[in-house]
Amino acid sequence: MDHFTYKNGILHAEDVPLPDLAETIGTPFYCYSTATLQRHYRVFAEALTGLDAEIFYAIKANDNLAVIRTLAEAGAGADVVSGGEIRKVRAAGVAPDRIVFSGVGKTREEMAYALDAGILQFNVESEPELDALSDVARARDATVDIAIRINPDVDAGTHHKISTGRKDNKFGIAWPEARAVFAKAAELPGLAVRGVAIHIGSQLTQLAPFEQAFKIAVDAVRQLRSDGHAIDRLDLGGGLGVPYGIADPPSPADYGAMVKRVTAGLGCKLMFEPGRLIVANAGILVTRVIYVKRSAHKVFVITDAAMNDLIRPTLYGAHHAVVPVLQGRAEGTPEPVDIVGPVCESGDILAENREMVVPLADDLLVLRSAGAYAAVMASTYNARPLVPEVMVRGAAHAVVRKRQTYDELLATNALPDWMSP
């Protein structure tokens, strides 16, 4: 459920008519619903009732400060993968002891910043990283809590570009080979081995891969305890899918029931890192039709949004439902259309072969489920400025990232001294 609904034939974001936002802000723009963010977080948290559990929102899904603050106020910590993301969550008001630092390529500078900030935990993904973190901690005469991410070699059954738990993925350390790395970590100065971490991918639409991977993680905890490690945290990552209109993933309640069954009696604090599940359906992309172009074989609906604004369809073959902002403005029989942008790439397709009544020039369209891995992955390709992000709450709205100007875009470049101005 989300809070983007039609009222008298006009699509609203909560109580805000989208045509009003388009008139005020211009198109394209992203729009996020506070009520949807809060509801999705609450539903996931309620699914974990009865567990000793904490939720750390994976901000790589959407790192807008207003989104992070909304979820922090709801009770979420933050799962980060870079020094920049640590700075973002701190700016949004997340307490350092509610931050988990994941990722395969942490630099020593990022480690030092995170350590000085006093974050809760580092999720270590390789032996070289373990050595570097020990060096950084020792130089500060500090001890940091770590979990070591194991790779269970479980196929999540998702797109290969969002799978993270197979042996040929770059993430984690193969189990049971990781036992030797845990043993090494216990001997290194500056490190306190507290947990096992696991994350097998994103947009999973079946519980079976989760259950297979979680059982491996639970067995790993028991084995490591028998090896003498005081493991009291199990980080189960995120990855539960959302309905993009083409799949029906398990509910958070079913997911929570499975977790309770698999981890019963383990005695660990459980840590979860949902991202897409919380934010995907809390966001939309609003775009305006520029032209409708008919060829002998295709109908192209050309919009002012493009692949630089929303790269997921091009990058992953991702599906986003497309709906008109005004019901009934266009008339006719539905037919297949491609919704494309102005970028000079054949891959600039937002939606392909969609059966719909062909919209008119100047119509407003919405790409739904655009709150995750959307604005956060945008670029300025073709010298197209970054588009604004808007948050609504009831009848109120606020621009939470302004539209980039051409002057701001040009200011990132500079001519060398030997060129005339």
SS3 of 382-405: the string is HHCCCCCEEEEECCEEEEEECCCC
- Longest pairwise C-alpha distance within the chain: 72
Pairing of strands 77-80, 53-58: parallel
Let me know if 31 is a catalytic residue: no
- Which of the following is catalytic: 187, 265, 296, 344? 344
Instruction: Enter the tokens of residue 97.
Output: 């002891």
Whole-angstrom distance, CA of residue 266 vs CA of residue 218? 7
> Sheet harboring 10-13: ordered strands across?
4-7, 10-13, 16-17
> Which helix or strand (DSSP H or E) is residue 35 part of?
helix 34-47
Of 348, 377, 365, nearest in space to 285 by CA: 365
Helix or strand run (H / E) with residue 138? helix 127-139
Where helices occur in 173-332 by DSSP H, the ranges are 178-187, 208-226, 252-263, 276-279, 312-316
Backbone Cα Rg of the chain: 23
- The distance from CA 111 to its chain's CA centroid, rounded to whole angstroms, is 22
Residue owning tokens 């994350």? 199
Active site amino acids: 344
